[in-house]
Amino acid sequence: MSSFMELALQEAARAGVRGEVPVGAVLVEAATGVVLASAGNETEALTDPTAHAEIMVLRAAAAKVRTPRLEACDLYVTLEPCAMCAAAISFARIRRLYFGAYDPKGGAVEHGPRFFTQPTCHHRPELYGGIEEQRASALLKEFFASRR
């Protein structure tokens, strides 16, 4: 498990170097441990407000396995997903969600709308937060400090 979060942290660091908010994600086929997709944020490069790391890996993996439902997959992401990404994770029927840093301002899993606890949410993945939290948080803090 920690090796997958390590891959997500590497994606986040690469995103930060590109001038993107340093968030990375990795989607893994749970039974085999095969990485189906990995990505960092690309909102600036693609001028696309939906190009969050989570969305990028969900799109790539769904295209690869030719189904929008990724029930046998686990998602590793360096930051607590926002509402948009939480909805996409639910729609994709991700099995388990592992995330690093908590996001009190923009997060929607443990903060804000707590998307997966809403009665309108049709699928709730198993949740594991705080994985490599300090490293994920440090990437974000360093990125934003360098822009002030």
Tokens of 24: 């990375």
Q: Are 30 and 96 in contact (CB under 8 A)?
A: yes
Tokens of 115: 């998307």
Name which of 122, 108, 38, 115 is nearest 76 in CA terms: 38
Is 6 catalytic? The answer is no
Rounded to whole angstroms, the Cα distance separating 133 from 48 reads 27
Edge-first strand order for the sheet with 34-40 is 34-40, 24-29, 73-79, 96-101, 126-128
Residues 6+ apart with CB under 8 A from 101: 78, 79, 80, 133, 136, 137, 140
Q: Which of 11, 20, 42, 54 is catalytic?
A: 54
Q: Which residues are catalytic?
A: 54
